Amino acid sequence: MTLTKSSVIEVLKGVIYFTKGDNIVDLGMLDELEVAENSIRFRLIFPKLGEASVNIVIGAATKALKDAFGEEVKLEITPIAEKDKGRGPLAGVKHIIAVASGKGGVGKSTVAANLAVALARSGAQVGLVDADIYGPSVPIMFGTENMQPGVYEKEGKPVIVPIEKHGIRLLSIGYFVDTDKPLVWRGPMATSALNQLLSDADWGVLDFLIIDLPPGTGDIQLTLAQSYSVTGAIIVTTPQKVAFADVKRAAHMFQQEKLTIPLIGLIENMAFFTPSDMPEKKYFIFGEGHGQQFADELNIPFLGQIPIEAKIAASGDSGNPIALDENSAVTKAFDLVAKRLRETFQ
């Protein structure tokens, strides 16, 4: 095998970090790889040093590279801790996806929940954070209002264990407060709550961590953009131009120089009405083609149209998001969006 960066990476994909159940490349543990004529140098990022798994992984990587490129190849493998790299509990998360809108009422939380379900149905490992601090909806949508996340202690600090439902790991401020009473919090309290949901939880290994943002362009959005390595944002709109006017402001917020988060694409929710007994019918109540037009105006991909169906509200209220119903036209729409999203990162 010829010694190149790509060939080294392919070999290291065969080295498994059993603590997190995946290979060291896909987990993002490989850092500062340098390949010369007959030498390989890189760092491996571990949650913390001093554990037996550190030497086991380094030994496995050494053997794999020697077997592939010969005993004479010079290796320099340096283990470092996540805290020294500036990383933490989200190190096992491959893609953090924010779902945003400029205004309420466009079905953003419904889109986030059902997109998470569609991704999980496609075989991905998925988590969902309800970052809508003032109006949490995930507990109701997943039927987990009476459940509470677990907690364990690690290095003297409490670590939150997300609730798991329908194959998705869930966290929401709704699990920790009385949702019948309004949250009267200033911005710093809200952002502190977001940080706890993200950084004080054991998310493990995930392909996607979906973050359902509150509407608007406030403190939560700013904290997420400035403090976390967000892969990208999905913008949700409805077909009406008045909705898109607010959505456009949210999109432009992510494009500011100091807050740059790539815009993955736009989803048009409530794009048309489809009767349950006539799934082939499409009634464009608010006009046709607006979603594609909005995406073109923002110069981002158009990820798809989600129809209106009578069962959407009932399924969410029952704790079973509609994307679990394989016969629904809405499910097929979300499956297509999930497919396009996964293809984006292949």
Return the top range by mean pLDDT from 133-137, 139-143, 198-202, 238-242: 139-143
pLDDT, residue 238, reads 87
Residues 5-85: name the CATH superfamily.
Fe-S cluster assembly (FSCA) (3.30.300.130)
Whether 226 shows a pLDDT value over 90: the answer reads: no
Looking at the predicted structure, is the pLDDT value of residue 179 above 70? no
| Contact yes or no for 113/141 (Cβ under 8 A) | yes
Mapping DSSP to helix (H, G, I), strand (E, B) and coil, where does residue 49 land?
A: coil
State residue 155's pLDDT score: 66
Q: What is the pLDDT of residues 103-118, one digit of tens each?
A: 677 888 999 999 999 9
Relative orientation angle of helices 219-227 and 187-199, to the nearest 10 degrees: 40
pLDDT value for 231 = 87
Return the residue matching tokens 């603590």.
19
The yes-or-no answer to whether 5-85 and 89-344 have a common fold is no
- Sequence-ordered list of residues with C-beta below 8 angstroms from that of 340, at least 6 positions apart, any chain: 265, 301, 303, 304
Does position 154 have pLDDT exceeding 90, yes or no?
Answer: no
**Local confidence band at 339 (pLDDT 50, 70, 90 cut-offs):** very high
What is the reported pLDDT for 89? 66
Q: Is the pLDDT of residue 338 over 70?
A: yes
Query: Quick one: pLDDT at residue 204?
Result: 86
Q: 268 and 338 in contact (C-beta within 8 Å)?
A: no
Least confident of 1-10, 280-289, 319-328: 280-289
Mean pLDDT value across residues 89-96: 81
Task: Please determine, looking at this structure, whether the domain spanning 89-344 carries the CATH number 1.10.3720.10.
Answer: no
> Cβ(228)–Cβ(96) under 8 Å?
yes
43-57, 100-114, 211-225: segment of lowest average pLDDT: 211-225
3-state secondary structure of 139: helix
Angle at 76 between CA 74 and CA 80, to 5 degrees: 170
Cα–Cα dist 118/326, whole Å: 10
Element holding 118 (H helix, E strand) = helix 108-121
Cα distance between residue 6 and residue 25, in whole Å: 11
**How many other β-carbons are positioned within 10 Å of the β-carbon of residue 225?**
18
DSSP state of 283: B
Q: What is the DSSP letter of 124?
A: -
What's at 240, amino acid-wise?
Q
Residue that has been written with the tokens 């996540």 in this structure: 82
Cα Rg, the chain, nearest whole Å: 22
The first and second tokens of residue 78, run together, are 């340096």
Q: Rounded distance, CA 157 to CA 177, Å?
A: 21
Of residues 343 and 157, the one with the higher pLDDT is 343
Q: How far apart are CA 125 and CA 129, in angstroms?
A: 14
Q: Select the more confidently predicted residue: 12 or 218.
A: 12
Interatomic CA distance for residues 20 and 194, integer angstroms: 24
Q: Where are the alpha helices (DSSP H) in 255-289?
A: none
pLDDT for position 171: 93
| Bridge partner list, 34 | 41
Domain boundaries of the chain, sorted by first residue? 5-85, 89-344
167 versus 218: the higher-pLDDT residue is 167
- DSSP of 159-195, one letter per residue? EEE-EEETTEEEEEGGGTS-TTS-----HHHHHHHHH
pLDDT at 258: 61
